[in-house]
Amino acid sequence: MTPAARIQAAIEVLDLVIEAARSNGAPADRLISEWFRARRWAGSGDRRAVRELAYRAIRACGEIPATGRAAMLRVADTDPQLAALFDGSRHAPAPIDAAEPMAEAGVAPAWLMQRLADSGVEHPEALLDRAPLDIRVNTLKSGSLDLPEGGEKTVAAHGWRYPPETKIEQSPAYLEGMIEVQDAGSQLTCEVVAARPGETVIDLCAGAGGKTLALAAAMENAGRLVACDADRARLQRLPPRAERAGATGIETLLLDANREMQALEPFVGAADAVLVDAPCSGTGTWRRNPEARWRLTDKQLERYVAIQSRLLDIAATLVKPGGRLVFVTCSLLDAEGADQAEGFLTRHPDWRAELPVLPAGTPRGAGLRLSPSRDGTDGFFVARFVRL
């Protein structure tokens, strides 16, 4: 593909991403992969270049663009060399008309920018930086560890950081289950749980089990670890991951959304610790999913907040006296963080908050906030509550 043809390809991909954002369709990475699957003649260099152009445009536009061309014109407006490739030649985009619409620059839609400002988020532009690749060393695997070259230690106890383009999943250490891909901030939130061998620990919103595996390592495969989720497809991805990691004895429990207590009844008052990594807006993960900020609406945010409150109330019933409940969201919005923690304490006077002690993060209400700009991690809120 010529450089100009790559721009036109990125415009076509962006049209798909924009439509999916409006209709809550497939994520950008999947759409890009599917687009190239139908064009197997494109080489690896073409794929990489088109992907980078598409994501560059996604990151450049605050409000959702009208079209892929409008999004790419936003990039071309500050890149004369790219603008010159809009020359109308074969497979190239048509020449730029000075009067044609261009997407608005910015970090996020206006209503979200106001929410971020109200939540005291500084340097929101850092939310769109390209994320590094973080890994967690799996302490369940014994023997010598041959880490891939090019990494540096993070503040997480078992964390290392690599450049984003590192082919970590092709390394022997990954293939042998000695390392797991996990953001340093995510690793730190697991450390707040302080899971110990012999305990009963419940991961209430386990998903595919990234945090569950970190808890299993902390528990040294001793105790009872229950991974729960209402999404069968995601939960089914955990057993093969656990086998590869050498994490034995993890129980999976499929929940019926809005009827969770039917399955959780045997665990009422039995858990030493419950982790609630609740569904949320994902504002802290825009570095990895920048088009997600175009998908979120105020009503969706309200639904997430209601789900989080309900899950916290369910989790509270599972913890034994003296036990702990850790609430985590990958969000920087107070509605899903400090306000949510305050609401829990108001509803449950028989609980108290313990401010997590971590080598990163800033106090926010009853918990800590981790942010890309200050901590170099994805954005998280984490709070720890103890039952009296």
CA distance 31 to 68: 14
Question: Are the C-beta atoms of 308 and 336 separated by less than 8 Å?
Answer: yes
Contacts of 257 (CB under 8 A, 6+ apart): 230
Question: Are the C-beta atoms of 220 and 140 separated by less than 8 Å?
Answer: yes
Question: Are the C-beta atoms of 357 and 382 separated by less than 8 Å?
Answer: no
Q: Does 118 carry a binding-site annotation?
A: no
Q: Does 229 carry a binding-site annotation?
A: yes
Question: Are the C-beta atoms of 127 and 286 separated by less than 8 Å?
Answer: yes
Q: Does 256 carry a binding-site annotation?
A: yes
Pairing of β 351-354 and β 319-329:
unpaired
- Three-state DSSP state, 211: helix
Of the CA atoms within 13 Å of residue 128, those in its CB half-sphere come to 20
Report in angstroms the alpha-carbon separations of 140 from 14, 217, 236, 248. 42, 6, 21, 10
Query: In the annotation, is 330 catalytic?
Result: yes
To which residue do tokens 């599917």 refer?
34
- Across the beta sheet with 152-153, the strand order is 152-153, 159-162, 133-137, 179-181
- Three-state DSSP state, 81: helix
| The one catalytic residue among 190, 205, 228, 330 | 330
Concatenating the DSSP letter of every residue in 323-336 gives: EEEEEEES---GGG
Pairing of β 159-162 and β 133-137:
antiparallel
CA distance 46 to 36: 10
Furthest C-alpha separation in the chain: 72
- In DSSP terms, which residues pair with 386 in a beta bridge? 324, 352
The token duo for 378 is 């994805």
- Four-CA torsion 329, 332, 336, 342, nearest 10 degrees: 100
State the catalytic residues: 330
Binding site residues, as ranges? 229, 256, 277
Binding site residues for S-adenosyl-L-methionine, as ranges? 229, 256, 277
